[in-house]
Structure formats: structure tokens, C-alpha cells
Amino acid sequence: MMVFTIRFAIAIVILICLQTCVLWGQEHGESNELRYGVYHKLPHHSKYSKRGEIVVTLSRAVAEYSNSGDVLSINDFENADKANNDPYYLIKLVDEKNPENVMESFTKMCLLKASKFEDEIIIHLNRNKVFHFDYYTSADQCNSTFISTSQTADFKTIVQIIKAGSGTRPKLNRALPINPDGTVEKPPEEKSFLQKYWWYLLPIVILLLTGGPAEEPQQQQQQQHRGGGQAARPARQ
């Protein structure tokens, strides 16, 4: 009985800790948002113009793109080819808090048209700081003919986040003992966390079932709020 009381007390403490962590995470999650202006320049333009915005949420490692700024007409893109024989589409990301932090990339104009303005921005994170981005179009060959359905260049942009992986390390494991017949001696199976400490979690489950804190619906709403044409994808790396 005594043992059970102690375990119950421990379970309560863990529960309180978890709750605090969730609340802290929500508070800081909002402040972990980074905003970048997306600017682009066509070959016959002399200046960069704004085309959209990217919001990077560091805590969840997701980023969203939204079109804003001037919308360019299809004619602009058509004219670019004729006016210039060096047709490159230049794009840059500018940190809104720190405008000196500029990242630049490019693609060929014809690729942008061949991909019907479907492009992808891959953001590279290093210790929660954005330092570079890769820019790709969905098409990689210029040969397809471009038939526009609308009069404006509607960018359908996918944003991806890539975090640096940790470098490979030598595996300095202990050598496994081998039986006389040549087979590897199996070490005793280790029990998983749940197998060992299921009784700590039991009261939490009971508490949840008997009507615990109800923050779940709120989170779901937040997730539904996202979407539209600009989907966010988790990192592939």
C-alpha cells in the first residue's frame, strides 16, 4: 500500500511537469517564428520586387509560403525572353528583422515557365538559424511548351526545411562474444521503457480517461488553419 502511494505521488509530479512543458512550448513557439521576404527579379527588370513571404516556425521545423506583393503578368515573362538572351530568374530571401541577412539563388526563366510556376524553396537551418536556401522548379528541362491558363503568374510554392544532420561517428561498440561454434552469443534482452515503468504511466492514463485537461481541440484547430495552396512538408533528409 505504501509503495503504491509513493508511485502515485511520483506519477502526479510527472504529470505536472509535462503540463508545464507543453505550456512553455506554446509560449515560446510563437516567438520562434522567423519571417523572410521573398523577392524576385526578371532579366529585364532593374530591381527586385516582392513576391511573397515565408514564415518559419522553428519549434515545429515547418515553414509556410504565402503570395503577397506585386503579381506579375504572364506577359512579363514572355517579354523577358525576347528582351534578353541571358534569361535568368533571380530570387532572394531577406530576413525581415535583419535586412542585411540576404540569401540569393536563381533558375532559368524557361524552367519556371515549363514548370507552370510550380517551384520549391528548401531552407537550410543551422542551430535554429536560416543561412541558405535552394531554389528549384518542378520541371528541369526547357523543352515543354508553355500554355498559360491565367493572365498572372501564380506561384505554387512548396517550402521544405532541412536541418544539418549530425556527422557520422566511428562505432566504438564492444566486440560481441562468439560461442565456440562460431555463432554470436546473444546478450540478455533489454526491456523497453514501457515494459519497465508501465505502472508510472497507469495513473496518467486513468487521469486522462476520467476527464483531464482539454487542450487537444485547440491544437487541432491550429493545424486546420494552415493549408490552402501552400502545403508544408516535413524535411526529407
Partner 1 sequence: MVRLLLETVLILILSLTIQVQYAFGIYADQAGINDWYQQYIGTPKCSFFHRPPNRGTTILIASESNVIASIKPFNGNIEWRQVLEGEIILAFKGHNGTAISVSEHDGYIVRLWEIQTGFMLWEKKIKSVGFNQINSRNGGEVDVVFTADGMNVIVLVGGHVIVNFNNIDGRQIWRSDLAESPTLLHKLVEHNQNIYAIGLKKSSKFYSIEVVTHDVQTGVLKSTSLSSKIGHIKDMIVVGGGSNTGFIVWKEGQYVRVNRLGSDTIEQSSLESLYRNVIPSFAGVIGDLEFVNLNISSRTEFLIQAPTANGNSAAVFKIDLESGRLTALYDLGHRNSTSIYSGALDKSEQLIISRTRLLSKDLVKVEIVAPAHRLALGSHEISYSMAVSGSIKKSLLDVTTKKNNETTSVAYRMLIVSDDGSIHFFKEDSIAWNREESLTHATEVEFLDLPEKKLWTQEVDELDEQSEESETISPFARYVRRLMNHIEQLKDFPDYLITYVQRFATGNYSVDPSPMTKAKTSLYRDTFGFRKLLIFMTRTKLVALDTSNKGQIVWSRYFGGTKSEFQKIFVVRSSTVKYPPVIVAIGVQKNLDKGNITRLFRLNALTGEDFITDHEIVTHTEDNISFSIPTIAHRIFKLPVEEPDERTHIIALLDEDLKASSLKAFQKFSASFYFTLSDGIGGKSLNGYKVAIEKISQPFSISRLWKLNFPEGNTIVAIGHKPNHEKVASLGRVLGNRSVLYKYLNPHIVAVATLSPSTSLDFYLIDTIKGSILYHAVHDNVSPSHPVQIIQVENTIMYHFWSEDQEKQEKGYKVVVCDLYESEKPDERFDNLNFTSFANERPHVNAQAFMFPYGVRTIGVTTTKNGIPIREFLFALDTYQVFGLSKRFLDPRRPQRTLTSEDKEEMLIPYEPTIPDNKKFILSYNLPIYGIRQIATSPALLESTSLVLAYGLDLWFTREAPSKTFDVLSEDFSKGTLLATILGLVVGILITKPPVRRKNINSRWY
Residues that bind partner 1 in the complex, under the rule CB under 8 A:
85-86, 88, 90, 102-108, 111, 120, 122, 124, 126-127, 129, 131-132, 134-137, 140-141, 162, 164-173, 184, 236-237
The rounded distance, in Å, linking the Cα atoms of 188 and 107 is 57
Residue 45 or 108 with smaller CB distance to partner 1: 108
Residue 84, CA distances (Å) to 17, 70, 116, 144 in order: 62, 22, 20, 20
Residue 49 or 126 with smaller CB distance to partner 1: 126
The rounded distance, in Å, linking the Cα atoms of 36 and 144 is 32
**What is the end-to-end Cα distance of the chain in Å, rounded?**
50
Residue 77 or 135 with smaller CB distance to partner 1: 135
Residue 182 or 211 with smaller CB distance to partner 1: 182
The rounded distance, in Å, linking the Cα atoms of 25 and 41 is 38
CB of 111: closest distance to partner 1 in angstroms?
Answer: 6
CB of 105: closest distance to partner 1 in angstroms?
Answer: 5
Residue 136: strand pairing partners: 120
Residue 143, CA distances (Å) to 10, 98, 170 in order: 67, 40, 47
CB of 54: closest distance to partner 1 in angstroms?
Answer: 17
The rounded distance, in Å, linking the Cα atoms of 67 and 35 is 13
CB of 173: closest distance to partner 1 in angstroms?
Answer: 8
- Cell of residue 117, nine digits: 510556376
Residue 166 or 221 with smaller CB distance to partner 1: 166
CB of 65: closest distance to partner 1 in angstroms?
Answer: 16
